[in-house]
Copies of this chain bind each other. A is one copy, B any other.
């Protein structure tokens, strides 16, 4: 069978990366330091120690190009890694495009998304440092599910604050976390001071990731045996996800091809970073590869936000990070892509976007589901609403190639399946999915409370 006939590009188990790739070694502009939320002075490791394992704090600030993946983590990666890269032959035919479309499928992980790539090392480093319990927040529920399983595999307790709108939209998600032994409550909850305060003010709030982060952080700092865990945004999370892009590069070699454009959806930024960061050295060396982040028009952080220091959460408990932001008290509309409802973005992604190494685009919800349906009916896989943002952009690129009569190689990260998002599809199929786009006035208003540093 020749390469041209292959539908899947599968690497053997020994090709699971042995190192994570740390883009901090290669950035044209070094990252601005995180600032202490009280003093507004640059953070030291000691400031982060109440929340994170030292192994993770070291990764957060490291400028080493390659960081070794612990063998315990790599052993568990074998449950699904290397994940397959597919040639989207069905979708290409449906679009009648001259372009070659490929997708990296992270939905084969046992929890159904890329999130386990970081959940496992986070649980591991906390375990070896004697921590007994992790708290976290989750939007769509993908991260909470991943951390629940990772905690179970490393024998830790797991407590998840889930954004209320997603908790109600995706009831199966709570059950999935419980099957893995985690505990999940809707946020804001009455378990924390900040949660109780928000409920008193806005009893009907849909919740936000920023609020859920405040609750998880408050819970973690209150208990000696507990650390906090974050599923995106931070440098060490993006670092862990680079297994994706490293595998993609080997798989594109197998396919005897190289991408013209690499696409990922972008909320906190970790899945986009995962597929895109390993291409930064190529780009710095002069290769013409475009790296495109796709966000919802309802939460257009990169395309309409500002590059400034802001809190990661609503209560101002977290360090100040320099990132693209819509303001830490911005409440995005309750779109189905709950995992992309975040006011900020990864500082790594933000700086590289600011320096022109990444591109970004924002897309509307109905167009996203239209793309998701076409993908499901031609490729078979029902994609997560978040991942479908990348599909929308990939289809648009393929149609542009068709219009221009050019064959390009388009690669996107299908970060997860949508088996637990079928109510969102039901909404779309019955015409109940709204398109939400923010006005400039709304964005200006949401930015008025940025902290002064």
Contact = CB atoms under 8 A, between A and B. Distances in A.
Contacts of A1: 12-14
Contact of A78 (B7, B111, B373, B377): B7
Given A8-B13, A153-B90, A419-B419, A179 B380 contact: no
A396 to B, nearest CB: 21
A112 B152 contact: no
Contacts of A112: 419
A426 interface: yes
Given A79-B7, A153-B90, A179 B111 contact: no
Given A419-B419, A429-B179, A379 B110 contact: yes
A445 to B, nearest CB: 37
A181 interface: yes
Q: What is the interface of chain A mostly: helix, strand, loop, or mixed?
A: helix
A117 to B, nearest CB: 13
Interface string A57-99: 0000000000000000001001110000010001000000000
A10 interface: yes
Contacts of A108: 108
Q: State the copy count for this chain.
A: 2
A110 B425 CA distance: 16
Nearest to A110: B380
Interface string A366-378: 0000000100110
A176 B80 CA distance: 24
27 contacts: A1-B12, A6-B78, A7-B75, A7-B79, A8-B13, A10-B12, A79-B86, A79-B90, A80-B380, A90-B153, A110-B380, A110-B382, A152-B377, A172-B172, A172-B420, A172-B423, A175-B426, A176-B382, A178-B426, A179-B373, A179-B377, A179-B429, A180-B376, A180-B377, A181-B377, A417-B419, A419-B420
Given A110-B380, A178-B426, 15 more contacts: A7-B75, A10-B10, A10-B12, A79-B379, A109-B380, A110-B379, A152-B377, A153-B380, A172-B172, A172-B419, A172-B422, A175-B423, A179-B425, A419-B419, A419-B420
